[in-house]
Amino acid sequence: MRNIDWNQAAPGVWKTTIGSPGGWTPLTCLNRRPRTEAMKELPEAALPLSGETIDLRELRAGGSLLSLPLAESEELYGMGLQFMHMNQRGRTRYLRVNSDPKQDTGETHAPVPFLVSGRGYGILVDSARAVTFYCGSALRQHKDAAAEARDRNTDRGWKATPVSDRLEIRLPQEGADVYVFAGPGMQDVVRRYNLFCGGGTLPPRWGLGFWHRVPTLFRDAEVEQEAMEFRARGIPCDVIGLEPGWHSASYPVTYEWDGGRYPDPAGFVSRMRDAGFQVNLWEHPYVSPESALYGSMRELSGSYSVWGGLAPDYTLEAARKLYADQHEREHVSLGVSGYKLDECDGSELTRNAWMFPAHAEFPSGHDGEQMRQLYGLLLQDVTDRLYRGKNRRTYGLVRASNAGASNLPYVLYSDLYDHRQFVRALCNASFAGLLWCPEVRRADSVEDWIRRMQTVCFSPLAMLNAWGDGVKPWSYPEAEAIIRHYIRLRMRLLPYLYTVFAEYEEKGIPPFQAMPLVLADEMQEQGKREETGGSSFGTGKSESGFNTAEGAYGKQAGREWDDQFCIGRDLLVAPLFAGETGRDILLPGGVWYEAETGARHAGGQVVHVDCPLERLPLFVREGAIIPMMPALDHVPEGQTEIPVEMVHFGTEPGEGLLYDDDGETFDFEKGGGSWLKVRVAIAQGGGFTGTAEKGGPACRYNITGWRFGQTRLPQE
């Protein structure tokens, strides 16, 4: 057993180096500066793990094992984009990038080695190698171990994996940098992590509109025709995505326009922009022999081919520059808004094993295992820096990611297609600085179609992906009005969504939050109120409240609540799935209103809500002030003024924030953003009054009016 020396790396964050780690890691390849000033605003906290509780020992097989005790009811969350479970206690997580994460092993598109404990601490292992977390799943032999033995034939309490009281982390042979993040609450842990990684991303305003990806072999005229059908049908749309057929060759790719399908790329992109559509391009990392990049990239690429193309070493500055220069010249200079970065998540062990092997060699000295873990991050980083150099924000999609990604303007997606797993992945992403898109590609029925579309309209990126099936929002005529309603509702809520993402960027608060984060935050707020005798910000009076002490969340109604989430602090979304006409919903403390019916519910309990097919269970918190804009065809560009109505809910006063900036550039980082603190107070003689205190430069939002004491969102 070895002693561990911890050094403070940032407010509430401690670091130790175990072994002799070398080469690039997720954090070093991104090299983002921690937001230390914002971290100082979080509660002061000491190192949450004492040296006496942490066991570090060398392993005979090489590497080290980091071990610490677990409380009996301690819950463990995080570890990236996990589809199968939310609470990882009692499970082993082998965190390696894998394009086929169907098995319950921990392998996934974004295997972030960052764990968040329900006791209010976090652990990050910064390594480009696979790391294994035994989350109370490895029972060490000791004098009382025999008491765990059970007879499987006769004892119904027998378990294949007995739950142990230790968390064990197997580190790579060369070692790793390990970080500990303090709380005191889980929300504080996650915020510290996001801020340590540079803060959250703030998408361009258009990125939060609706996205539609066209079939892969569409020509320019077909794309324009389909885009204009959105306008004709009154369905908002901001982004049109092109799939592999825009390339002159794909699998591997050229990054060059197909002259037959797109004879005038500049004119095509310009016409789309004039109609209010951003253009997003699909690509993957493997360079075709037909590409003009092939010759210059050959000496900068790995020792194994993928689909006959090169796998460039993007840890090399020369390779990054070749890629960026070509993309700037061929795409960005034309007005292309961003990318869908596909196929950077492959595995050599799945049935369709197309990725380079772990023993591949790269010119930088990295091997295939390291490069696979880093590839998604490297591609996100080089494209983000490309747009930053133009003072333009981008927002796109990516198939693989890792630690440190909160500051990157990308949303994960997958070839998986289970609706429940999609919602669970959205929840799990909130623990690890990730964003997830439950994209819609097809449906088994009209009911499945509507329920999927309702979910995606309340996600970090609302997208219909028609690349293979050619589906459109109007593919089911009997459902078109319902789909139009929810896409338009997303557009109307865009000022709220944009504000939530601004808080992510500035304060590290996840824009979409799983229920453990919400309830842990509620418990912390309750503790503050008890200390001060005051009421919490924006929540009004609580009629009821959970005992959200350690472990209580998971025991409510005997289930994990991995199928509902909050957007910011004031909206709660509880998706329905095909075959359901209603569901149980866990409401945090306070009072909540069904946003589209006005039904009132006391929080701090499980409620059952019946919902017809045309309605999604969406709730608004008592005292919330929701900014709403018109359901425009697309997000206005430039200095166009945007009318906003402030909608106050319930019978209690409240406070909130409304954020604005130019929606397109990084000028907000230099003080170009505007925060409005909005308040609703009880007026003398009864009724309410609303005020908005402006901070920062002029705001494009024009507050056209207030609605007080609402119990439902106003209709169009």
* pLDDT tens, position by position, 381-424: 999 999 999 999 999 999 999 999 999 999 999 989 999 999 99
Cross-strand pairs, 714: none
Name the token pair of 181.
């993040």
> Residue 560 and residue 554: Cα distance in Å, rounded?
5
Query: Is the per-residue pLDDT at 537 higher than 50?
Result: no
Confidence of residue 550 (pLDDT cuts 50, 70, 90): very low
Query: Is the per-residue pLDDT at 548 higher than 60?
Result: no
45, 198, 405, 620 from 34: Cα distances, Å: 17, 5, 13, 33
- The pLDDT score that the predictor gives to residue 269 is 98
Contact yes or no for 589/603 (Cβ under 8 A): yes
Contact yes or no for 413/456 (Cβ under 8 A): no
**Half-sphere exposure (Cβ direction) of 111: Cα atoms closer than 13 Å:** 31
Q: What is the DSSP code (8-state) at residue 361? A: B
Strand extents, DSSP E, 272-352: 278-283, 338-341
Looking at the chain, the whole-number percentage of residues with pLDDT higher than 70 is 93
- The pLDDT score that the predictor gives to residue 143 is 57
Tell me if the domain spanning 625-710 has CATH number 2.60.40.1180. Answer: yes
Q: Any residues with CB less than 8 A from the CB of 669 and at least 6 apart, and which?
A: none
Residues 216-239: tens digit of each pLDDT: 999 999 999 999 999 999 999 999
Confidence of residue 52 (pLDDT cuts 50, 70, 90): low
Residues 181-220: tens digit of each pLDDT: 999 999 999 999 999 999 999 999 999 999 999 999 999 9
Q: What is the DSSP code (8-state) at residue 356? A: P
Q: How many helices (H) and strands (E) does the chain have?
A: 14, 32
Residue 656 dihedral angles phi and psi, to the nearest 5° = -165, -175
Taking alpha carbons only, the member of 619, 648, 653, 627 closest to residue 707 is 648
- The pLDDT score that the predictor gives to residue 546 is 40
Fold of 210-505: TIM Barrel (3.20.20)
- The pLDDT score that the predictor gives to residue 49 is 83
- The pLDDT score that the predictor gives to residue 464 is 98
Architecture per CATH, 7-142+152-196: Sandwich (2.60)
Residues 252-277: tens digit of each pLDDT: 999 999 999 999 999 999 999 999 99
Residues 431-443: tens digit of each pLDDT: 999 999 999 999 9
Q: Class assignment of domain 511-621?
A: mainly beta
Domain ranges of the chain: 7-142+152-196, 210-505, 511-621, 625-710
Query: Is the per-residue pLDDT at 35 higher than 70?
Result: yes
Confidence of residue 153 (pLDDT cuts 50, 70, 90): confident
Query: Is the per-residue pLDDT at 646 higher than 90?
Result: yes
Q: What is the mean pLDDT of residues 553-562?
A: 66
- The pLDDT score that the predictor gives to residue 547 is 41
Confidence of residue 147 (pLDDT cuts 50, 70, 90): low
Residues 316-352: tens digit of each pLDDT: 999 999 999 999 999 999 999 999 999 999 876 665 6
- The pLDDT score that the predictor gives to residue 360 is 96
Cross-strand pairs, 78: 115
**More reliable by pLDDT, 470 or 2:** 470
- The pLDDT score that the predictor gives to residue 349 is 65
Q: Any residues with CB less than 8 A from the CB of 271 and at least 6 apart, and which?
A: 224
Q: What is the DSSP code (8-state) at residue 342? A: -
**More reliable by pLDDT, 303 or 103:** 303
- The pLDDT score that the predictor gives to residue 554 is 42
The CA angle 121-126-128, to the nearest 5 degrees, is 145
- The pLDDT score that the predictor gives to residue 51 is 65
Q: Any residues with CB less than 8 A from the CB of 324 and at least 6 apart, and which?
A: 382, 383, 385, 386
Query: Is the per-residue pLDDT at 364 higher than 90?
Result: yes
Name the token pair of 577.
């799935």
Q: Indicate the average pLDDT of the chain.
A: 92
Domain 7-142+152-196 and domain 511-621 have a common topology: yes
- The pLDDT score that the predictor gives to residue 656 is 96
Residues 237-253: tens digit of each pLDDT: 999 999 999 999 999 99
- The pLDDT score that the predictor gives to residue 542 is 32
- Element spanning 387, H or E: helix 368-388
Taking alpha carbons only, the member of 708, 224, 211, 202 closest to residue 491 is 211
Location of structure tokens 């119904």: 156
> Residue 431 and residue 115: Cα distance in Å, rounded?
8
- The pLDDT score that the predictor gives to residue 351 is 59
Q: What is the DSSP code (8-state) at residue 172? A: P
Question: Coil, helix or strand for 543?
Answer: coil
